[in-house]
Amino acid sequence: MQVQDDDKPYDDINITPMLDLAYVLLVIFIIMTTASVQGVKVNLPKASASVSLAKAQTKAITISDSGQIFLDAYPVTLDELEQRLRTQKAVTPDFPIIVKGDANVQYQKVVDILDLLRRLDLSQVGLVTGKQSS
C-alpha cells in the first residue's frame, strides 16, 4: 500500500474564476460602449417623406430644445462649428451633413446653421425628421 505525501506542492492552477471575471468584464465593456454611442436626444419634427444621407463621412449637427449646438454629439459654439467644418472641408471637400433640430427650437438657430453651411459652400445638406404618424 502506498501513502500520499501531503507535503507535495500544489502544481495545478484553477483558471476558471479568472475566465469568469474576464467574461464579465467583456460584457460590461460591450454594454458601456454601445450605451455611450447614442448621441444627443432631440424631439424631431415630422415629415411625410424622407431620404437617407447616411454615409461614413457624414457629419451630424444637432440643435437641442435649449438651443445648444452639437457636432457629432459634442457641444460647440457657432464659431467652433465653423472652424471644425472648415477643417473637415479641407480634408474631404464634398462631405454630407445632416441637421437635426428639435421641434421646439427657435427657427432662427436652424437658419443660422443653414446660413453657415451656405457660406462654407457645403451643398450636401439633409434635414432629419421623424416619421409622420398615421
- Number of alpha carbons in the 13 Å side-chain half-sphere of residue 119: 13
- How far from 3 is each of 7, 15, 102, 126, CA to CA, in Å? 12, 29, 80, 82
Question: In 3-state terms, what secondary structure has residue 47?
Answer: strand
What pLDDT does 53 receive?
47
What pLDDT does 12 receive?
76
Whether 65 contacts 110, CB under 8 Å: no
Taking the alpha carbons at both ends of the chain, their separation in whole angstroms is 87
pLDDT averages per 10-residue partition of the chain, 134 residues: 61 82 89 64 64 64 88 89 89 85 84 89 82 63
CATH numbers and ranges of domains, the chain: 46-131 (3.30.420.270)
What pLDDT does 124 receive?
85
